Structure 1
Amino acid sequence: MSGTAIENFACIIFNVSFMNCTWHVSWTASGDTQYFLYWKTSKKENFTECQNYIKDNHGRHTGCRFQNVTIENKRASFLVKGHRSGQNIQLYEKTISLYEIEKLTPPLNVTVNCTEASHGCEIRWQPPHTSHVKKHDCFKYQIVIENKADPEKNIKTTSKTERNIIGNSYIFESFSAGKRYSIKIRATDNDCLVSASWGEWSTPVEFGEEELRATSPWILFLIPVLAASLILFLCRVSIYLKKKSATVPQPRDLFHEISPTDFQAEYKNQLTHETEEIIIIEEVA
Structure 2
Amino acid sequence: MMWLLVLSCVSLVDLSHEESMKQTSVTNLSCVLYHVTAMNCTWNTGLNPPEEYFLYLNFNQKEEECPNSIPNEHGQHICHIDYVSPDKESVTATLKKLVNQSWVPFFTKDFKLYEIEILRPPQNITVSCNEKTSECIVKWSHPPNKRNVSSESCFVYEIKDEAGNTVKGITDTYKVYPADQKHTLQIRASGKYCTITNRKGEWSERIEFGYDPNTFPTIYLILVVFGTIVTILGLFILCKRLRIWQKLTDPIPQPNLILDPDENTGKAWVDLTQTADEKITLVEEMTSSCKKHGGLSSTSQLS
| Deviation for aligned residue 1:85 | 8.7
Q: Give deviations 1:214-255, integer Å, cap 9, x for gaps.
A: 8999xxxxxxxxxxxxxxxxxxxxxxxxxxxxxxxxxxxxxx
Q: Does 1:41 align with 2:56?
A: no
What is the aligned counterpart of 1:24 among 33, 38, 44? 44
Question: Could you tell me how far apart the structure 2 residues matched to 1:104 and 1:216 are?
Answer: 44
Question: Could you tell me how far apart the structure 2 residues matched to 1:109 and 1:216 are?
Answer: 34
TM-score w.r.t. the length of structure 2 is 0.57
Matches within 5 A, 1:210-221: none
Counterpart of 2:205 in structure 1 is: 203
| Deviation for aligned residue 1:139 | 1.2
Residue ranges of structure 1 left out of the alignment (5+ in a row): 148-158, 218-285
Moved over 6 A (4+): 84-90, 213-217
Question: Could you tell me how far apart the structure 2 residues matched to 1:160 and 1:112 are?
Answer: 18
Q: Does 1:7 align with 2:23?
A: no
Q: Does 1:108 align with 2:123?
A: yes
Q: Give deviations 1:167-194, integer Å, cap 9, x for gaps.
A: 322223xx142x3111111100121222
What is the aligned counterpart of 1:184 among 183, 186, 203? 186
Q: Specify the code of the residue in structure 1 equivalent to 2:66.
A: C
Structure 1 residues 74 and 123: alpha-carbon distance in aligned structure 2, compared to 1, 3 A threshold: same
Counterpart of 2:134 in structure 1 is: 119
Question: Could you tell me how far apart the structure 1 residues matched to 2:29 and 2:95 are?
Answer: 9
Question: Could you tell me how far apart the structure 1 residues matched to 2:190 and 2:219 are?
Answer: 36
What is the aligned counterpart of 1:64 among 79, 94, 100? 79
Counterpart of 1:167 in structure 2 is: 172
Structure 1 residues 115 and 61: alpha-carbon distance in aligned structure 2, compared to 1, 3 A threshold: closer
Counterpart of 1:155 in structure 2 is: none
Counterpart of 1:156 in structure 2 is: none
Question: Could you tell me how far apart the structure 2 residues matched to 1:127 and 1:86 are?
Answer: 50
Higher relative contact order by CA 8 Å / sep ≥ 6: 1 or 2?
Answer: 1
| Deviation for aligned residue 1:88 | 7.1
Residue ranges of structure 2 left out of the alignment (5+ in a row): 1-16, 222-303
Alignment RMSD, CA only? 3.4
Question: Could you tell me how far apart the structure 2 residues matched to 1:216 and 1:102 are?
Answer: 50
Counterpart of 1:277 in structure 2 is: none
Structure 1 residues 38 and 216: alpha-carbon distance in aligned structure 2, compared to 1, 3 A threshold: farther
| Deviation for aligned residue 1:49 | 0.9
**Structure label with greater radius of gyration:** 2
| Deviation for aligned residue 1:27 | 4.0
Q: Specify the code of the residue in structure 2 equivalent to 1:203.
A: E
TM-score w.r.t. the length of structure 1 is 0.60
Question: Could you tell me how far apart the structure 1 residues matched to 2:76 and 2:161 are?
Answer: 43
User: Which has the larger helix fraction?
Assistant: 2
**Contact 2:129-2:179 within 8 A present in 1 as well:** no
Question: Could you tell me how far apart the structure 2 residues matched to 1:202 and 1:56 are?
Answer: 29
Question: Could you tell me how far apart the structure 2 residues matched to 1:108 and 1:216 are?
Answer: 37
